[in-house]
Amino acid sequence: MTDLQNAGRYYWHYLKKYWFGFLVTIVLISISTACIVIAPTYLGRAIEELTQYLQLWTNPATRPQDSFGAFHTTLWIYLALYLGDASSIFISSLVLARITAYSTGTMRVGLFRKMQRMQVRYFDAHSDGDILARYTSDLDNIFNALNQALIEIFLSVAQFIGLLIVMFAQNVTMALVTMASTPVALVIAAYVMKKAGTAVNRQQDDIGQLNGYINEQITGQKMIITNGLQQDSVKGFTRYNDRVRSSALSGQIWSGILNPLMQGMSLLNTAIVIFFGSWLALNGSLSTGAALALVVVFVNYAQQYYQPIMSLTSLYGMIQLAITGARRVDEVRNQPDEVNPADGLPLNGIQHDVQIKDVHFSYNPGKEILHGVSITLHKGEMVALVGPTGSGKTTVMNLLNRFYDVDSGAITIDGTDIRRFDLHALRANVGIVLQDPQLFTGTIADNIRYGDPTAAMDRVIDAAQQANIHDFIMSLPQQYETTVSDEQNIFSAGQKQLMSIARTILTNPALLILDEATSNVDTVTEANIQAAMDNVMQGRTSFVIAHRLKTILNADKIVVLKDGTIIEQGNHHELLEENGFYAELYHNQMVFE
Ligand SMILES: Nc1ncnc2c1ncn2[C@@H]1O[C@H](COP(=O)(O)OP(=O)(O)OP(=O)(O)O)[C@@H](O)[C@H]1O
């Protein structure tokens, strides 16, 4: 499907419900066009009446006694026609402005809702900046085009149709001659538009990448400063910026070239009409006078003929950006949603076990990451997953709450495949403390309540106490009402980690997953986090991904993963006795600690 068809489908989807507003606009624009077409004839008539009146008036014998009655009436009609034109345009602009505001508002909400339904895969594969650009510059381009170009499109189409009617009413042969150059103009326009479309597509994708780069550099700013990489960062920026500049320039050139080309076509058209009209005057059946009058009228039409096309082509850059914007926004809209079974089973905790059975998984086809992984977690057990970096530990976690689905094999809770549970029910039972805890704008209390917004304050405090963060919160001037925001990043990594543990405790999950919760913090905080983790894991089925082996010494089972395959399983003592990979890892770590 071409971009144009795609954009057509997209705009139809969002604009069809405003059919009545469009109908009103079409009626109003038709009124305005009729007023514009008719008004000059009244001006002509007014001049004619004035001339007649003056001729009578200058001769005392014929000087009329009455006033300028007919002349005045004609002028009033002329004025009324212009007022009719102006007010129709004004009202239709208001109607279209309302449609634009509401429809782009709906697009924005639709896109945001979609983001909440989309698979994690999409976010892993696209930079934050690129996704953000679809919400900002792409939607802005759509808004601008709807706001400015829509009325122009209506006007141009109405003008064009009006002109065709008038031309054919006057003389069919000359009308056809005036239109003769249209196919050539269409071929040129199609070629230039294709080129411009490609350039603008590239421009928007380049802007997405530039945003992605800026976003990455902002996130990693401390890293850049620490390593003295500011110059390299600027160089990288310049590289992306150059790409945007070059694609924007070529987009502008191709979009901009269309208007002069159409002006050239208009001149050519006028020449064709003069040439053919003169031939008609010399060889046709019309009297020379009538033929010349026809030529004059059609020269006028020939110049007007390309006017609507030119005003559309002058907006072409904007329209093309809106077509590209629609493609990029639609790309997000067409992403597959998370798969939630139609009659998903309820899930109320774990009665016996969670089993990972012979699971094979790949993020991208042809590159398998997990090769037949099997792990059993009995209710209330703590199972730890260890292994070198890139061995697939986080991947296993990604499968447990269905961020991704397995390629083959299955994950079951009490014997039922997790794909059969209602997705929300499954997630309500699986709590995750991620490596990089995220706090949201709001108060500390709001942040702890995130998983259960209805939780009473005493439960929030209880969760914070279990997570060993209550004392710290109470030491802040505004305690639980302290505002957390992007600009006010006053918490350490460890404190954030503890708050996210408190958040998870509050949701009371049946299965708890802790992903390297102890990395990146000092030893005191680590001890705090360890205590908080012990609290939260007490009597709960939990799955811990850890790098520091001393945090999992008392795990019921330790699973060692290497290159996506389980190479050892057992408790700490059994694995030490086995004297394999785990034992080596443990001894190495002990030397360093
Ligand atoms: N979204 C993704 N798309 C494609 N490949 C991925 C994705 N996430 C991870 N991988 C690949 O899968 C493999 C396992 O990654 P995973 O994050 O599960 O390892 P890990 O054992 O958790 O590593 P670490 O200890 O460093 O966190 C790696 O080769 C990684 O490059």
Give the CATH number of domain 3-333; options: 1.10.10.10, 1.20.1560.10, 3.40.50.300, 3.40.50.410. 1.20.1560.10
Checking if the pLDDT of 487 tops 60, the result is: no
Which pLDDT value is given to residue 356?
A: 92
Backbone angles phi, psi at 466, to 5 degrees: -65, -30
CATH code 1.20.1560.10 region(s) in the chain: 3-333
pLDDT tens for each residue of 499-552: 888 888 888 888 888 876 555 566 677 777 777 777 777 778 888 887 777 778
Give, in order, the Cα–Cα distances in Å from 140 to each of 313, 456, 581. Answer: 20, 41, 55
Residue of 122, 373, 395 best suited for mutating to test ligand 1, as the one with most atoms within 8 Å of CB: 395
Predicted ipTM beyond 0.90: yes
pLDDT for residue 517: 53
The CATH fold of domain 353-592: Rossmann fold (3.40.50)
Tokens 């770590």 locate to: 589
Ligand 1: centre distance to CA 418 (Å): 22
Of all residues in the chain, the percent with pLDDT exceeding 90 is 8
CA of 401 to the centre of ligand 1 (A): 16
Residue 559 pLDDT: 92
Cα of 532 vs centre of ligand 1, distance in Å, is 27
DSSP per residue, 561-581? EETTEEEEEE-HHHHHHHTSH
Q: Ligand 1 mean position to 394 CA, how many Å? A: 7
Among protein residues, the one whose CA lies closest to atom 4 of ligand 1:
363
**Helix (H/G/I), strand (E/B), else coil: 84:** helix
Please state the atom number of ligand 1 nearest to the C-alpha of residue 396.
Answer: 18
Query: Which residues form ligand 1's pocket by a CB distance below 6 Å?
Result: 124, 363-364, 369, 387, 389-395
The atom number, within ligand 1, closest to the CA of 124 reads: 1
560 CA from centroid of ligand 1 (Å)? 16
Find the Cα–Cα–Cα–Cα dihedral 91, 97, 103, 105, rounded to 10°: -140
Tens of pLDDT, residues 130-152? 888 888 888 888 888 888 888 88
Q: How far is the CA of 407 from the centre of ligand 1 (A)?
A: 16
Mutate to test the pocket of ligand 1, among 393, 406, 559, 565 (most ligand atoms within 8 A of CB): 393
Q: Environment class of residue 96 by beta-carbon count within 10 Å: exposed (0-12), middle (13-18) or buried (19+)? A: buried
* CA dist., res. 555 & res. 109, Å (int): 45
At 67-115, the pLDDT tens digits run 666 777 888 888 888 898 889 989 988 998 899 889 888 988 888 888 8
Query: Nearest residue CA, atom 6 of ligand 1?
Result: 363
Residues 6 or more apart in contact with residue 514 via CB below 8 angstroms: 432, 433, 533, 537, 542, 543, 544, 545, 546
Per-residue pLDDT tens digits for 444-486: 888 888 877 887 888 888 888 888 888 888 888 878 888 876 5
Q: Inform me whether the pLDDT recorded for 361 exceeds 90.
A: yes
What pLDDT sits at residue 358?
Answer: 92
Token digits for 130? 């690129």
pLDDT score recorded for residue 522: 67
Q: Ligand 1 centre from 277 Cα, in Å?
A: 75
Tell if the pTM clears 0.80, that is, is over it: no
CATH 3.40.50.300 in the chain: give the residue spans.
353-592
For residue 41, pLDDT beyond 70:
no
Ligand 1 atom with the shortest distance to the CA of 398:
18
Residue nearest to ligand 1 atom 14, measured at CA: 392
Centre of ligand 1 from the C-alpha of residue 421, in Å: 26
- Ligand 1 center from residue 393 Cα (angstroms): 8
pLDDT score, position 33: 82
pLDDT, tens digit, for every residue of 287-344? 666 677 777 778 877 877 888 877 777 777 788 888 888 888 888 888 888 888 888 8
Q: Is the pLDDT of residue 431 over 90?
A: no
**Ligand 1: nearest atom to the Cα of 391:** 21
